Structure formats: structure tokens, C-alpha cells
Amino acid sequence: MYVKGVGPYRAKMLSDKGLETVEDLLAYAPFRYEDRRNLKPIDELAPGEMATVIVEVGSVRVPTFQRKNLGLLEAVFKDGSRHTLLGKWFHGTYLQNILTEGQKVALYGKVELDNYRGEVLMLHPEFEILSGDDDDVEATLHTGRIVPIYSAAGKVTTRQLRILMYRILSSISAPEDFLPDRLIAELKLPDLWTAMKEIHFPGEGEQLRLLNNFRSPAQIRMIVEEFFWLECGLALKKQKARTVQGIGFALNEAVRAKIKAMLPFKPTGAQKRVLSEIAADMAATHPMSRLLQGDVGSGKTLVAAESAIIAMENGYQVCVLAPTEILATQHYFYFKNLLARLGYMVVLLTGSMTAREKRQTKKTLETGFAHVAIGTHALLEENVSFHKLGLAIVDEQHRFGVMQRLKLKEKGANPDVLVMTATPIPRTLALTVYGDLDTSIIDELPPGRKPISTRHVNADRIEQVYSFLQKQIDVGRQAYVVYPVIEESETQAMKAAEKGFQQLAEIVFPHFQVGLLHGRMSPSDKESVMAAFKSGAIQILVSTTVVEVGVDVPNATVMVIEQAERFGLAQLHQLRGRVGRGGEQSFCILVTGKLSDAGKERIRTMVDTNDGFQIAEMDLKLRGPGEFFGTKQSGLPTLRFANIVRDPELLEAARSEATSFIANPPSEEALRRAVQYLRTNWQRRYGLVQVG
């Protein structure tokens, strides 16, 4: 479609923002609205009110008396009133080239009284240059109404976007509305066409407060719609998966006996419940797709090992995919420790192994000699094949996407899949990103755990931390001191850890055994340091974030996190989870330099709560859904109107409607139409693989 005013130049800038089609543009919603209904001549302006004036630029000047660096710009505006209006912009000297005498502009801002001159004044008003070639209708788009404010797309201004939206809306006809009537009636939503128009150009009667909270009827309609189709897609995917032939694992006495023989302790009630959910899935003849959630230290890995036994006792192999080499190595030892004495063979496959080692390991998998393969992305490579893969466990840590899960599945004939997350995921994200999975939650910690006491200490008071460490070690405990790895580069963190190590080992605690652990060490060196810490030979372990996951030393009671301001909340919580695993009171000490506002919020959250779910919610709030996972491949759907942080209750509503719509469609025809619509319009956007 041709839209007047979009030449190749602007088209390029729009497409850089992902705005390629008319549909894209119409989905580019204003991020806020301004009430410019209060349009007044200068003489009627009253100090204190928000108002819009349409005026002509008189003089523009940079006063010479001002102190340096203020960059003050003053402009006088007139509209035929007796008085003039003064506009002031600090750091506004660039406006000299923008505002020119005689120009017609709309100003919007708070009216103040300039005591010095006795004139009305606007400080930093919003302004728009009204060009002479606007046609009459288009001129009214910008003032005298509630005006949409778009974020600029390159050099395409909010004003140009407004005109563009207007032109598009006046040249297309009403689109077909696919949202089920029942939903529209239930939630009293406006129809699609009305909603689209109202989003861009709210009607007279709209309330500004609702609009700016994204709660006008039109906005609610678009938000609900987006969530509804997303949840329909996920529900369809789930439904379809139930029709696929998978493995029905037998759950007999032999299996139970083996699990019992493996267990080092009595499972918690939550672990038992979750295992029975998994076992029921595994026994069913369709493939399992289950998400296992639980706070750090809640004992997810143990449940994973139990599930592995179910598969292995049925003659199948198991693989465990981990996001990093260190984590894979740790899982390897954990599983080997539990399973080897029962006669199962556990192997490790990572990228850093030699070609020969890899070849040998792959052979054991192909022939079925090995029962459990634990590894990193290396497991996903083409040339890795299994004799008989029955269960794939993915330790996500939010790092793997849908595609990788699929790749893993293809290594077997519809194996069961269990996804574990290192830290809890807020419910809204679980519903969107993992919405096609069934969920199990371990909401109970193993018995005897005392809540970890967390404190914040400024780096210049590190002496306090040292004397605290001294006391804890004197009574026989052990401690971690951790340095952050920033943006996947170990080098800097390694240097910081090495320096810290020297300081502690040589100056502060020469009488203790201090160990050092970082990612650049050889696997065998790492292993021996970890073993020494585990046995108690080392009292203080200085490390980079390699201990983030997996290390398990119940006698360690202190976790000191250096430069804690550099860690994200999830990571801090994960690290803290390394202590508090025994019966003794444990401590987490967050050492920071100067804190940003967000940094303060993070530290406060850590000090205030030990609840991983609460921390995850805060993390999502502070960082937003895009950053929460920290990777592009997270499978986060592209949402244009909806926002899971802002709209959790609309997500819940849309989800319950979607679930019942798919389970009990009003008619076959309605379902067929919905599936068709989803396929053509939403599948790609949501990254939904194989819907319907």
C-alpha cells in the first residue's frame, strides 16, 4: 500500500524499527498521550494549569548574562493576545536552528508566572512546529485533543507518525475481527476497528489517566487480543503434543527399588509430589514436556536423577544438557556420585574435550554402553547419536531456546523432556515463554535449613567482613569469596579473584588455607580445588562465578560477594544459595561500591528476602522481560501492545479464556477459523513452532 509522505528515506528509518507494513505501523502504539484539549489564547492562560497554545515564534535569543553551561534559550511567542508568552529551555541552544521567527508552533506545558517580567512562562514546553502545508483535518491531529505521543523512529518524529497513522487509518477499511464473540462479550471489549482507531486517536470522552496507564477500553482490547492468541497458540501446541506417540515407561517395583537405593536422604513432600507428576507423564504414552521449577537448593537435581532412573530401568538412555561447561561438569559429578554405584554409566561431553575423548564418548552413547550423557551444546551436534534416548533433561538457566529443545528431542524417538530452571521464573513469564509446558514446582526446602542472613557492607569497611570470616572459620566453618564475571569475559574477573586471593592468603589470613578457583583452570585443577574445599582442607574458596551453580558444601556458611552491584538479582540469589545447606546459620555478605538506584533496589531486595520467586518478580520488574533472560534465544514472544510486567491480570484473563476456547470451542468452525488465523498472522511473530 502506498502511503503519502513515506518516501524511501523515511521508509528506511521505519523499517529499521521493524515497521515494514501497514499492520506493523498500526501496531506501533503511542507510549503516552497528552491532553491538549485545553487550547487557549495567551491572555487566558492561568498559572498552574497545563495548557496548549497555538502561537507564532517572535524572537529567539540566548541571554548573555547567564552563567556558563546553562545553555539557556529563551523565545517569545505571540498569538494576537495583548500579552506574549515566554518559553525557556535550559541546554536548549540547539533550538536556535529549529525555532525561527514567524514560524507557527503548538506549545504544550505548565503555565507559570515569570515574576521578574510579570508575564506568563512555560519552562521546557513540548512543542510542535505546525507546517503550513498541513491540510485542515491533519492540522487538528496535533492540538485541541488528546494527542498520541509515539517514540520517534529514526528521524521520523512523533508528529510525522501521527500524520502517517491518520492517513493509514483513513485509507483502509475495517479489518475482520477474529476474536471470538464470547470473549468480546465477556470482557466487554470494543471491536477491532474501533480499538485500532481509538489507540491512535482517542475520542473526546477518553480519560487521560486510563490511557496513560494503558487501561482504556481500546488498549485493553489490543492487549487481551495479543495475549489471547499467544495462549491459544500455546494451548494448541500442547494439545497437539498429546496426540504424538511417545514412550510409556513402566513404573514397577524394580524401578521403585532402584530409586530407593539411590536416595541419599528422604525426599521432601514437594519432591515426592513433583516426582509423581513427572512419573505420571513418563508413564503416559505421549511425550512429556514439563518444566521443573524450584528455588535454589530445593533439590531439583535429585528429582532429575530419580526421573533418570525411571528411564534407565526401562532400558532407555538419558541426556542432561547444561548451559556451561562448569555446570555440566558439576552435574556430571552429581549424577555419577548418585548413579555409578547402582551400576549406571555416566559420561560427560563438552567442547573442551580432545577429539579423541569426544570420539570415545560418542561411541559409548551410540552403542548404548553409557546410560547417562551430560554435556553442553556439544551434545546437540549432528554427529552425537544415542542408542535409545528416552529422557532429555535440559538445565535451562534461561539460556536455551525452543529450537535447541527440539534438536535434543530429535536425538531420540519422541523422548520425554524435562526442563529445569536454575532459579524461579515469574508466573507471567512461565505462562508466556514456557506456556506450552506443564509445570511442576518444588515449593519446600529440605528440612533443617535456616534462612540465610544477608547483609550489605560498603567496600571501604571490608575489615569488618574479614573479622567476621575469622570468627566463622575459628568455629570450624568455611567461606566463599566470589568475584563477578562480567559479560562472559573471565579475564578481568580472574585478575580480580587472583588479587583477592593473594590479599587473603598472604596478608589477611596467612594462617588459613585459602584456595582459588576460576574458569581458566584445567578441569583437573578445578576438580582438585573443589575436592579440597569439600573435604575441608581449604577454608576459604576465592573464585569467579564458577561456583554460581552446583558446588555443594554444607559446612560452608559464609558467602562473600565482592562487587555485588555488578551482579543481577538472579545471579546474586543463585550464589547465595551455595550456603545455608547445612544445619548451621549461614550468612551472605554483599560488598559494594557506590550504588545506582537500580543497584540499591537489587541489594535491598536481597537483604529483605530469601524467596526466589519474590526475587524473580523484582528482577523482572527492574530489568524488563527482554533483559530478564539475558539472551535473544529465550523464546520470548514479540509483544506489541501487551507487557507482562504491566499486564499480569490481563494475561491471566486471556489465558483462561484461551484455554477454555481451545478445550471447548463454541463450534468446529470457530476453532478452524481461529487456527487458520493464528497460522497466517501470529505463528511467526510468537516463534510458535508447529501450531495446530
Q: Which residues bind ligand ADP (CB under 6 A)?
A: 265-268, 271, 294, 296-302, 446, 552, 581
Stretch that binds Mg ion, among 159-167, 240-248, 531-539, 598-606 (CB under 5 A): 240-248
Stretch that binds Mg ion, among 6-14, 29-37, 411-419, 651-659 (CB under 5 A): 411-419
The secondary structure of residue 336, as a DSSP letter, is: H
Please spell the DSSP secondary structure of 250-261, one letter per residue.
---HHHHHHHHH
d(CA 450, CA 472): 16
Q: Which does 446 bind (CB under 5 to 8 A by kind): ligand ADP, Mg ion, none?
A: ligand ADP
Q: Please identify, using beta-carbon distances, which residue of 416 and 562 lies nearer to Mg ion.
A: 416
CB of 248 vs Mg ion, minimal distance in Å:
6
Q: Which does 271 bind (CB under 5 to 8 A by kind): ligand ADP, Mg ion, none?
A: ligand ADP
Q: Please identify, using beta-carbon distances, which residue of 171 and 285 lies nearer to Mg ion.
A: 285
Q: Which residues, listed in sequence order, are joined to residue 514 by a DSSP beta bridge?
A: 540
Residue that has been written with the C-alpha cell 554435556 in this structure: 375
Residue that has been written with the C-alpha cell 464473540 in this structure: 181
Site for Mg ion, residues 105 to 164, rule: CB under 5 A: none
d(CA 456, CA 464): 11
Please spell the DSSP secondary structure of 320-366, one letter per residue.
EE-SSHHHHHHHHHHHHHHHGGGT--EEEE-TTS-HHHHHHHHHHHH
CB of 404 vs ligand ADP, minimal distance in Å:
20
Q: Please identify, using beta-carbon distances, which residue of 207 and 285 lies nearer to Mg ion.
A: 285
CB of 417 vs ligand ADP, minimal distance in Å:
18
CB of 318 vs ligand ADP, minimal distance in Å:
16
CB of 305 vs ligand ADP, minimal distance in Å:
9
Q: Which residues, listed in sequence order, are joined to residue 121 by a DSSP beta bridge?
A: 86, 112
CB of 483 vs ligand ADP, minimal distance in Å:
22
Spell out where 383-539 has E strands: 389-395, 416-420, 438-442, 453-458, 478-482, 514-517
Please spell the DSSP secondary structure of 87-102, one letter per residue.
EEETT-GGGGGT--TT
> What is the arrangement of strands in the sheet containing 587-592, beginning at the earlier edge strand?
453-458, 587-592, 556-561, 478-482, 540-543, 514-517
CB of 109 vs ligand ADP, minimal distance in Å:
54
Give the number of C-alpha atoms closer than 13 A to the C-alpha of residue 594, restricted to the C-beta side.
0
Q: Which residues, listed in sequence order, are joined to residue 561 by a DSSP beta bridge?
A: 482, 590
Q: What is the 3-state secondary structure (H, E, C) of 586-636?
A: CEEEEEECCCCHHHHHHHHHHHHCCCHHHHHHHHHHHHHHHHHHCCHHHCC
Closest CA to 120 of 61, 77, 66, 156: 77
Q: Which does 180 bind (CB under 5 to 8 A by kind): ligand ADP, Mg ion, none?
A: none
String marking each residue 480-509 x if it binds Mg ion according to CB under 5 A: ------------------------------
Q: Please identify, using beta-carbon distances, which residue of 302 and 591 lies nearer to ligand ADP.
A: 302
The packing angle between helices 597-608 and 569-576, to 10°, is: 30
* Contact of 88 with 122, CB cutoff 8 Å: yes
Q: Please identify, using beta-carbon distances, which residue of 351 and 451 lies nearer to ligand ADP.
A: 451
Cell of 531: 575436592
Residue nearest to ligand ADP (CB): 299
Residue that has been written with the C-alpha cell 468480546 in this structure: 184
What are the CA-CA distances from residue 565 to residues 175, 440, 470, 486, 625 (Å)?
50, 32, 24, 11, 20
With binding defined as CB under 5 A, does residue 282 bind Mg ion?
yes
Stretch that binds Mg ion, among 143-151, 238-246, 331-339, 501-509 (CB under 5 A): 238-246
Q: Which does 423 bind (CB under 5 to 8 A by kind): Mg ion, ligand ADP, none?
A: none
Stretch that binds Mg ion, among 25-33, 49-57, 416-424, 638-646 (CB under 5 A): 416-424
d(CA 197, CA 26): 9
Q: Which residues contact 602 (CB under 8 A, 6 or more apart)?
A: 565, 567, 568, 569, 572, 618, 622
CB of 611 vs ligand ADP, minimal distance in Å:
14
Taking the mean position of all CA atoms in its chain, how far away is CA 160?
32
Q: Which does 275 bind (CB under 5 to 8 A by kind): Mg ion, ligand ADP, none?
A: none
Q: Please identify, using beta-carbon distances, which residue of 22 and 262 lies nearer to ligand ADP.
A: 262
Q: Which residues contact 598 (CB under 8 A, 6 or more apart)?
A: 622
Q: Please identify, using beta-carbon distances, which residue of 19 and 437 lies nearer to ligand ADP.
A: 437
Distance spanning both ends of the chain, measured CA to CA: 31
Q: Which does 14 bind (CB under 5 to 8 A by kind): ligand ADP, Mg ion, none?
A: none
What are the CA-CA distances from residue 302 to residues 293, 335, 411, 486, 611 (Å)?
13, 9, 24, 30, 20
Q: Which does 477 bind (CB under 5 to 8 A by kind): Mg ion, ligand ADP, none?
A: none
Q: Which does 268 bind (CB under 5 to 8 A by kind): ligand ADP, Mg ion, none?
A: ligand ADP
d(CA 671, CA 180): 9
Q: Please identify, using beta-carbon distances, which residue of 249 and 344 lies nearer to Mg ion.
A: 249
Total number of residues binding Mg ion (CB under 5 A)?
4
Q: Which residues contact 680 (CB under 8 A, 6 or more apart)?
A: none
* Contact of 279 with 406, CB cutoff 8 Å: no
Q: Please identify, using beta-carbon distances, which residue of 282 and 658 lies nearer to Mg ion.
A: 282
Q: Please identify, using beta-carbon distances, which residue of 159 and 477 lies nearer to ligand ADP.
A: 477
Neighbour count for residue 240 (Cβ, 10 Å): 14
Cell of 653: 484473563
Secondary structure (3-state) at 517: strand
Site for Mg ion, residues 241 to 280, rule: CB under 5 A: 246
Q: Please identify, using beta-carbon distances, which residue of 25 and 322 lies nearer to ligand ADP.
A: 322
Cell of 281: 507423564
Stretch that binds Mg ion, among 250-258, 410-418, 429-437, 598-606 (CB under 5 A): 410-418
Q: Please identify, using beta-carbon distances, which residue of 576 and 581 lies nearer to ligand ADP.
A: 581
CB of 271 vs ligand ADP, minimal distance in Å:
6
CB of 650 vs ligand ADP, minimal distance in Å:
32
With binding defined as CB under 5 A, does residue 389 bind Mg ion?
no
CB of 432 vs ligand ADP, minimal distance in Å:
23
Q: Please identify, using beta-carbon distances, which residue of 99 and 309 lies nearer to ligand ADP.
A: 309
Q: Which does 282 bind (CB under 5 to 8 A by kind): Mg ion, ligand ADP, none?
A: Mg ion
Q: Which does 237 bind (CB under 5 to 8 A by kind): Mg ion, ligand ADP, none?
A: none
CB of 241 vs Mg ion, minimal distance in Å:
11
CB of 266 vs ligand ADP, minimal distance in Å:
6
CB of 293 vs ligand ADP, minimal distance in Å:
9
d(CA 401, CA 437): 13
Q: Which does 301 bind (CB under 5 to 8 A by kind): Mg ion, ligand ADP, none?
A: ligand ADP
CB of 156 vs ligand ADP, minimal distance in Å:
48
d(CA 691, CA 141): 41
Characterize the bridge pairing of strands 32-35 and 146-149: antiparallel
Give the number of C-alpha atoms closer than 13 A to the C-alpha of residue 15, restricted to the C-beta side.
9
Q: Please identify, using beta-carbon distances, which residue of 271 and 478 lies nearer to ligand ADP.
A: 271
Q: Please identify, using beta-carbon distances, which residue of 24 and 552 lies nearer to ligand ADP.
A: 552
Q: What are phi and psi of 32, to 5 degrees?
A: -165, 170
CB of 493 vs Mg ion, minimal distance in Å:
42
Q: Which does 297 bind (CB under 5 to 8 A by kind): Mg ion, ligand ADP, none?
A: ligand ADP
Rounded CA Rg of the chain: 31
Residues at the contact surface with Mg ion, assessed by CB under 5 A: 246, 282, 284, 416
